[in-house]
Amino acid sequence: AQTVTQSQPEMSVQEAETVTLSCTYDTSESDYYLFWYKQPPSRQMILVIRQEAYKQQNATENRFSVNFQKAAKSFSLKISDSQLGDAAMYFCAYRGSGTYKYIFGTGTRLKVLA
């Protein structure tokens, strides 16, 4: 069975600095998708970034980028130039290519310090 692990329950970062959130996963599948979701206190989950496992190039969305290491089964999220609005719970998620079932990590709470 697939698993997703986020080993950092909480992280803090100074405004305008860079922070990296860790995520590791375990799977025997070769084709899958990885996602980072953000859940602000208002509680709606918002997609931050996605990565297809068959793509070697790391995904980037403005200030958000990932470091995808397929062999190591690692999928970290880097937030550059952190802003107060980035404060939220961040979830890493896995989905196999042949299923709609998502597996989420337990989340990392990010605090942004002014």
Partner 1 sequence: KAGVTQTPRYLIKTRGQQVTLSCSPISGHRSVSWYQQTPGQGLQFLFEYFSETQRNKGNFPGRFSGRQFSNSRSEMNVSTLELGDSALYLCASSLGPGAQPQHFGDGTRLSIL
User: What are the structure tokens assigned to 4, written together?
Assistant: 């997703």
Output the CA–CA distances (angstroms, integers) from residue 91 to 29, 87, 94, 114, in the order listed. 21, 13, 10, 23
Least gap, CB of 101 to partner 1 (angstroms):
4
Q: For partner 1, give the closer residue by CB, 62 or 114.
A: 62
**What's the CA gap between 60 and 78, in Å, rounded?**
9
Eight-state DSSP code of residue 16: T
Residue whose CB is less far from partner 1, 87 or 107? 107
Nearer to partner 1, 77 or 107 (CB): 107
Of 37 and 75, the one with the shorter C-beta distance to partner 1 is 37
**Contact set with partner 1 (CB under 8 A):** 33, 35, 37, 42-47, 50, 52, 91, 97, 99-107
CB of 92 to partner 1, least distance (A): 10
* In the complex, minimum distance from the CB of residue 35 to partner 1, in angstroms, rounded to a whole number: 6
Please provide residue 2's backbone torsions phi and psi, each rounded to the nearest 5 degrees.
Answer: -80, 145
CB of 48 to partner 1, least distance (A): 10
